[in-house]
Amino acid sequence: MTEDTNAARHKTLALCQKMLRLNTGIILAAFALIIILTTISTAEWVRVAGKVLYYLIVSQAVASAVTWYYRTRLEKALARVEGDGSHGDH
């Protein structure tokens, strides 16, 4: 049972890493788009797009923080479980 649980935790850790990479990519792309858009124009649509991209960056930063916190808790739980089996003399 614990092997299945550990395998599921490892899969979840891998998913967390993918989510963090995706969030980072979205944040970087949004920053780049803001820079490009504000360089080529100052029209109203650019201000609206900039606001949307700004809120996208903020939401991705929050999602990254939540994912990171969950991942660190999961890693600690895995270390405790795996550490008990491999370091029984401590």
Mean pLDDT of the chain: 89
Q: What angle do CA 82, 67, 6 make, to 5 degrees?
A: 20
* Residue 14 resides in a domain: yes
**Is 13 a residue whose pLDDT tops 70?**
yes
Band of pLDDT at residue 84, cut at 50, 70 and 90: low
* Residue 32 resides in a domain: yes
CA 13 vs CA 1, 3, 16, 40, 41: distances in Å: 18, 15, 5, 41, 42
* Residue 51 resides in a domain: yes
Domain residue limits at 35: 2-82
* Residue 89 resides in a domain: no
State pLDDT tens for residues 30-57. Answer: 999 999 999 999 999 999 999 999 999 9
